[in-house]
Amino acid sequence: MAYTPATEELIRALQGLPGIGSRSAARMALHLLERDTESAQWLNNALAEALNKVHRCPSCRTLTEQVECDICQDSERDASSLCVVVNDADRAAIEMSKQFQGHYFVLHGVLSPIEGVGPEQLAIFDLIDKLKNNDVSEVIFVLDDQMESEATVFYITEQLKAIDVRCSRVTLMHLKNGNLDQAESRHLVSALTNRQEITLEQE
Ligand SMILES: [Zn+2]
């Protein structure tokens, strides 16, 4: 073993983060333990506090520290329009564009049978119930163009055939991390304005 058991465990934990390979994980772990224990303590406290306070809004699955998120509580927002996104970073990016005044539903992933992600993990049946029981007239899917995303949109729209709701689709490649640059932000604005309606064949 190259490092102590606790160091190895920390490296394995860091390696589980998106985009972090084994070498980066080892570099980060050693940096925190050897040179920057103050930051390590800060990280430790911030992570514990966030895990303790942050949870998914029961209504839309946005991450929040309140019983219900700000958007669901805001009576000024348009409850007839619902935007379906993959994660909270995408929701934050759309919020920053200020082009959408409706409500959201955050899937926290896309369908992926290989990774064991099915409709239950994405709460798709909760979404369907929400659409059945609320006055939503339009569902806007804002997802990227990857195969799993397309399959997820297709799966959900198939379930919506029996419900009287308009569905439209915005395909965005760079909607990640909530840090849109100016060009991406402009693209998001025009994509939302020129969204494509999905035609549902009624049964
Ligand atoms: Zn909410």
CATH code, domain with 23: 1.10.8.420
One digit per residue, pLDDT tens: the chain, 203 residues?
Answer: 789 999 999 999 999 898 899 999 999 999 999 988 898 999 999 999 999 999 999 999 999 999 999 999 999 999 999 999 999 988 988 888 888 899 999 999 999 999 899 999 999 999 999 888 888 999 999 988 889 999 999 999 998 888 888 999 887 765 555 455 566 666 777 777 778 788 766 55
Do the domain assignments include residue 107? yes
Do the domain assignments include residue 116? yes
**What spacing in Å lies between the alpha carbon of 8 and ligand 1's midpoint?**
38
- Do 68 and 115 sit in the same domain of this protein? yes
**What spacing in Å lies between the alpha carbon of 31 and ligand 1's midpoint?**
38
pLDDT reported for residue 60: 95
- Do 48 and 62 sit in the same domain of this protein? no
**What spacing in Å lies between the alpha carbon of 117 and ligand 1's midpoint?**
22
DSSP conformation class of 174: S
- Do 31 and 83 sit in the same domain of this protein? no
**What spacing in Å lies between the alpha carbon of 10 and ligand 1's midpoint?**
33
Between the alpha carbon of residue 10 and those of residues 3, 6, 50, 58, 161, the distances in Å are 10, 6, 19, 32, 48
pLDDT reported for residue 192: 77
pLDDT reported for residue 173: 64
**What spacing in Å lies between the alpha carbon of 140 and ligand 1's midpoint?**
16
**What spacing in Å lies between the alpha carbon of 128 and ligand 1's midpoint?**
16
Please name which of 170, 174, 171 lies closest in space to residue 183, comparing C-alpha atoms.
174
- Do 66 and 148 sit in the same domain of this protein? yes
The first and second tokens of residue 85, run together, are: 């996104």
- Do 43 and 120 sit in the same domain of this protein? no
Number of domains in the chain: 2
- Do 39 and 104 sit in the same domain of this protein? no
Do the domain assignments include residue 203? no
Q: 78-85 and 138-143: which strand pairing? A: parallel
- Do 19 and 80 sit in the same domain of this protein? no
Residue burial 9-28, b: 16+ Cβ < 10 Å; e: rest = ebbeebbeeeeeeeeebbeb
pLDDT reported for residue 194: 74
Domain range for 41 is 5-53
- Residue found by looking up tokens 């985009």 in the block: 19
- Do 77 and 38 sit in the same domain of this protein? no
**What spacing in Å lies between the alpha carbon of 74 and ligand 1's midpoint?**
10
**What spacing in Å lies between the alpha carbon of 134 and ligand 1's midpoint?**
14
